[in-house]
Structure formats: structure tokens, C-alpha cells
Amino acid sequence: MLFVLLLAGLTGLLGRGVYLQGIHDDFLQKKGDARYSRVIEVSAHRGMISDRNGEPLAVSTPVESVWASPSDVEADRRQVNKLAQILGMDAEELKDRLFDTSRDFVYLKRQLPPDKVEKVVGLNIPGVMLQREYRRYYPAGEEAAQILGFTGQDDNGQEGLELALQEQLAGKPGSQRVIKDRRGRIVEDAGSLQASKPGSDVLLSLDSKVQHLAYRELEIAVKQHRAKSGAIVVLDARSGEVLALANYPGYNPNSRNNASNKAMRNRAITDLFEPGSTMKPFTVATAIEAGKMRPNTLVNTEHGVFIVNNRKIHDQHPAAMMTVSQIIQRSSNVGSAKVALSLKSEMLWRGLSDSGFGVQTGSNFPGEASGKLRDPKTWRPIEQATMSYGHGISVSLLQLARAYTIFASDGELKPVSFLKLDTPATGKKVFSDRTARALRNMLEMVVQPGGTAPLAQVPGYRVAGKTGTAHKLEDGRYVDRYVASFVGFAPVSNPRLVVAVMIDEPGNGEYYGGSVAAPVFSKVTGEALHMLNVPNDAPLDNVIVSPASVIKEEV
């Protein structure tokens, strides 16, 4: 009897044991885990953007956001008022949010500075909590605002290079299972569910010193000429790297609450304009390359008036004859039209297209404009003529700067890069060494007395370049507002920098590229060459300017 009882008891125990261990174990295991095992988030911060010398340009740093769980909030009037004061909010509004029990989670204030966070913690209000988030800071401020772009609340790139480089910069948050003890300390790593990967740092091609002086000079020029806006691009002539790219007006990326869309646009890359005379060198180079012209070929410039398809082309400085070099030096529209009309339209198109017009620069900048270069089959002679001096074609400033790398090198079009390159990229040969050299000589004449841009001269360095002054196109008609530009490179003996300046609608009476944009070029180029320790290739008293010798170009 007793034996049977014992046996029954034993069976019962065994059965229970099997049930708990074998059948019901999932549930129990889960309950057990819930008591000590936790899954925690492992945050990954966004990579840093720095300039070519490692100076930080965009850095993420953790900040705290204050949030509340309304059903847990216990605060009296005085505490609410104090909190409102710290957060800089209206007390009534804060109260509404704090006691809105229909919600479980309300942000009170996002991204609070550290000193204020301490005060909030000091108040010790139940139900008011902190959450760590990352905020991005831009030490260079407005100087590099449009080129760097910015990130949104969640630290994802929204504009500019922040968007273009999102893949590299973004970190991947992970999660990890851990075992915690009674006091909440992590005592064991129970395996990671998803490895976190912090974002990688990116070295840009920008040089923050050059960027600063480019922005500074641009700002001065835009203000002085009461212009609508301006942009400047500085390229390394050997590698095609962008050393500086600035736009004015700008905005402060660290507090962009009242920044307008207009200020945020990167005009140098996303906006198109009719370049005007800065196109002439490409027309001439195409003609020289094709063997139609030589630098000293005489062209009949018709005493400054030339009629094509019943439309008049004017020159500011009429002459009966000019050499091809003089056409560039004095920026003659008639001469340029004549040169263009001596070419087949396909040939001119090929020359311009090979120089990078009408196609993107390969910079991968978000929203980059490719410009407009129409199909040569649709060109009428008058269009071919105007296109030769930069009307009826639209380009971005970055495209224009890049195209001048052809003349700054021995005929090679360099790809544009915003990232620092270890080895200079090889370009595409567009014109022969001889053509490139011939154009270099012509462009150097532009900045000498008798040319359109003596103000572009730089003490101690030989420079070369071309002015552009173009009527703006509005609703299909040309109006008496202008875009003044200058594109050039230096030192001529061994070019290191290509600098392109564009000033939109100078409103102070002066609007010629040679008087508005060329001085900016001169300042920026001179100082940038000093900064980069480029040896002088001319004596320091090489600048020869007599105001009377500044030649106005035709627009």
C-alpha cells in the first residue's frame, strides 16, 4: 500500500518534471529571460567631414532631448514654470503638453545644450526624461554652408555633400542581448543581434583657408556692387579637385530656422546661366585645332557690325581687322562669330561638348545641372554665331571652371572631385598641346594692358583668363541686367589653380566682368597661391594698370 502511494507520488513528480522541462519550457524560459536578459541599442554616430588638411567641417556630437510621459508626470505649478523657463517655452504651452494624457510620449524640446540639460535634471520631475541624440555642427558656418549641405533631425543627410556622401557617413545602429543583474549592471554579453557600425570619416578636397578667403572676397564684391548673388569656384588645375566653392548670400547651417530656399541653393552647381564671352576661347580653340585658324590669322571684323540672318552683331571696339589673338584679348563678338561660322556646326558642337558643356561634371553633387547645348542639326547660322560668344547656351559655374582646366593643362579636361584624391585623376585629352599653349598665351594677353581684364593681374604671378559679361535672359527676352564673370588660372608658367567668379546682377552701375569679377579673381588667386606656397613666376612689380587701358568688352 505504502509502496503504491510512493510510486504514484514518484510518477507524479516525474511527470511534472517532464512537463516543466520538456513541454512548458518555452514559456518559463521567456519568463526567466525577462527577469535578467535585456536587448540594448548600440548607437552609431555619423562620420566626420573634414577638409583636405583634416580640419573638421561637420562633426556630430551627442545632445539630449527632453521628453515626457504625461501619465507619469507629477509636477506642481512652480516646477512647470521653472522648466518652461529653462526650455525657453511658454508655460501654458508646456503645461498642455505635460498633461496631455492621451499620449504616451511627447517631446518637450529636442537637442538641448548641455548646460540646460543639467538644470532639467536638477529639477528632478518624475515623468520627464532625457533621450540621447546626435546633432551636427558646422564650424565653418556660412562659408561652406551650401557645399556641405545639412542633415535632418535624425542625422540623415538632406542636402549637399551630406546627402551625396550619406552612404559613407551614416552609421548603422546595432542591438545586443545582455544579462543584467539586480542593480541593472550589465554582467554578461549574451551575443550581439546586429553589429553596429559607426559612420566613416570623409576627407574632402576643400581647403578651409582657401574656402574662407574665397567666401570673404565674394561677400565683399557682392556687397560693393549691390549684386543679387555671387558664386566662386577654385579648382586644383592638376587634379581637378575642388579647393573651394562658395556662394553668397549664404546661411548659417548651425541654426537654419530662417534660411530661405534661395540662400540654401548651391548656385555654382545647380544654377545655369548664359556664360557670355567666357565661351570664346573654346570656339577659337576648336578652330585652331581643326587647322582653320592660327593665332595670328587676320579676321575681317567688319568695323564692328556684322549681320547674320538679319540680326546685327556689335563690337564695343570696332576694328577693320583683328588677329585671332586680338579677338580673345579684346573680346570681339564679330570676330568670334566669324571664327565660328568658318566651322561646320557639328565641329563646333563637338569642341564644346568635349569641353564638358551640356554634360554633368561627374561631381555627383545632388541636383547638379548639366547645362544646355542644343543639337547642332537645329542650329541656324545666327545661333551658331551667338553661341560662339556664349549666348544661346547655358552652363553652370562649376562646368565653366572645369572646362578651363583644358587650357591650364596641356589640353586635358580633368574630372571634378569633391573628395581628396591620392593620385591625380587622368583627364580626357580634348585639344592638342599646341592648341592649349596657344590659348594660354592669348588668355594671358587678356589681363595685360589692351585686354579686357587688367584688374585680374596678381603681383608676383603670371595669370591668364577671360572675362564674360552677359545680358540676362528673362521670359525669352534679353534684359538690361547682367551676369559678370571671370574665369582664369595661374601661374601661367605652370598652372596650379583655376578660379571662376560669377556675380549676378551687379547693381551699382558697373557690370563688366573685367571690372566686377576680375578683381575678385585677382585677390583670391593671389592669396591662395601664397597660402599654397606656390613659387612666384614673375617679379612682384609686374602689375601694370592704367585705368584708361581697361577695355570694355562687348555684351
Chain positions contacting other proteins, by CB under 8 A: 48, 55-56, 59-62, 137, 139-141, 143, 181, 185-189, 208-209, 212-213, 216-217, 220, 459-460, 523, 527, 530-531, 533, 535-536, 539-541
Query: What minimum distance in Å lies between the beta carbon of 181 and other proteins?
Result: 8
Q: Is 236 helix (H, G, I), strand (E, B) or coil?
A: strand
- List phi, psi (to 5°) of 266: -90, 90
Query: What CA–CA distance (Å, rounded) separates 443 from 495?
Result: 13
DSSP one-letter code for 19:
I
Q: Give whichever of 48 and 502 is closer to other proteins, judged by the CB atom.
A: 48
Strand partners, 464: 489
Q: Is 168 helix (H, G, I), strand (E, B) or coil?
A: helix
Which helix (H) or strand (E) segment holds residue 17: the answer is helix 2-18
What the block records as the C-alpha cell of 74 is 507629477
Strand partners, 3: none
Q: Give whichever of 338 and 462 is closer to other proteins, judged by the CB atom.
A: 462
DSSP string, 288-334: HHTTS--TT-EEE-GGGEEEETTEEEE-SS--SEEEHHHHHHTT-HH
Query: What minimum distance in Å lies between the beta carbon of 489 and other proteins?
Result: 19
Query: What minimum distance in Å lies between the beta carbon of 140 and other proteins?
Result: 6
Query: What CA–CA distance (Å, rounded) separates 315 from 334?
Result: 6
Closest CA to 76 of 146, 126, 14, 4: 126
Q: Is 510 helix (H, G, I), strand (E, B) or coil?
A: coil
Query: What minimum distance in Å lies between the beta carbon of 38 and other proteins?
Result: 13
Active site residue 355: no
Decide: 391 and 215 in contact? Cβ < 8 Å: no
Q: Give whichever of 99 and 137 is closer to other proteins, judged by the CB atom.
A: 137
Query: What minimum distance in Å lies between the beta carbon of 477 and other proteins?
Result: 37
Q: Give whichever of 244 and 264 is closer to other proteins, judged by the CB atom.
A: 244
Query: What minimum distance in Å lies between the beta carbon of 315 and other proteins?
Result: 34
Q: Give whichever of 187 and 359 is closer to other proteins, judged by the CB atom.
A: 187
DSSP string, 450-473: TSS-GGG-BTTB--EEEEEEEEEE
Report the first-to-last Cα separation within the chain, whole angstroms. 122
Query: What minimum distance in Å lies between the beta carbon of 188 and other proteins?
Result: 6
For 474, other C-beta atoms within 10 Å of its C-beta total: 9
Nearby residues of 210 by Cβ (< 8 Å), 6 or more positions away: 234, 243, 244, 524, 528, 531, 532
Q: Give whichever of 309 and 546 is closer to other proteins, judged by the CB atom.
A: 546
Q: Give whichever of 351 and 460 is closer to other proteins, judged by the CB atom.
A: 460
Query: What minimum distance in Å lies between the beta carbon of 139 and other proteins?
Result: 4
Q: Is 308 helix (H, G, I), strand (E, B) or coil?
A: strand
Q: Give whichever of 212 and 350 is closer to other proteins, judged by the CB atom.
A: 212
Amino acid letter, 467: T
Find the catalytic residue in 229, 277, 355, 394.
Answer: 277
Q: Is 445 helix (H, G, I), strand (E, B) or coil?
A: helix
Query: What CA–CA distance (Å, rounded) separates 516 from 520?
Result: 7
| Residues acting as catalytic residues | 277
